[in-house]
Amino acid sequence: MATVTLTADNFDDVAQSDGIVLVDFWAAWCGPCRRFAPVFEKAAEKHSDIVFGKVDTEDQPELSERFGISSIPTLMAIRDGVIVFAEPGALPDAVLENVIEQVRGLDMEDVRRRLKS
């Protein structure tokens, strides 16, 4: 599956959907972002059941500000509308795959229960 360009106009619709959404906050001038891009694209092709979205922080500064993105690339994982992971840094293939498997394995009822307490 190809990646989806996320903007202030479509971010909430995509992020609030059921399932997993991985978001790459990036910028064209960022060397680590350019190195992470093929890793992200490869994972998008491999995991067709996951939405892979990209936020260009130069084009969408309001989204960066909204989520407190201060370093790029930053990977955010959202499952069933809940942000379950957000961390800066260009991840290697194996680490990204590990994040995906951990997000898949989450007990979302437990996550929601913990958020309420």
Please tell me the predicted confidence (pLDDT) of residue 21: 97
Please tell me the predicted confidence (pLDDT) of residue 117: 77
Whether the CA torsion 14, 51, 72, 98 is positive or negative: it is positive
| Number of domains making up the chain | 1
78 in a structural domain: yes
Whether the CA torsion 66, 12, 51, 113 is positive or negative: it is positive
Please tell me the predicted confidence (pLDDT) of residue 61: 96
Q: The CATH number of the domain where 93 resides is what?
A: 3.40.30.10
- Per-residue pLDDT tens listing for the chain (117 residues): 679 999 999 999 999 989 999 999 999 999 999 999 999 999 999 999 999 999 999 999 999 999 999 999 999 999 999 999 999 999 999 999 999 999 999 999 998 898 887
Q: Which of 33, 37, 90, 99 is catalytic?
A: 33
Q: Which of 21, 22, 23, 30 is catalytic?
A: 30
33 among known catalytic residues? yes
Question: What beta strand segments (E) does the chain contain?
Answer: 4-5, 20-26, 51-56, 74-79, 82-88
117 in a structural domain: no
Q: Which two tokens stand for residue 62?
A: 């309001």
Question: What are the distances in angstroms from CA 30 to CA 1, 15, 103?
Answer: 24, 24, 26
Please tell me the predicted confidence (pLDDT) of residue 1: 60
10 in a structural domain: yes
- Tell me the C-alpha distance between 27 and 117, whole Å: 36
Give me the domain span that covers residue 69: 4-112
pTM of the predicted structure, to 2 decimals = 0.94
83 in a structural domain: yes
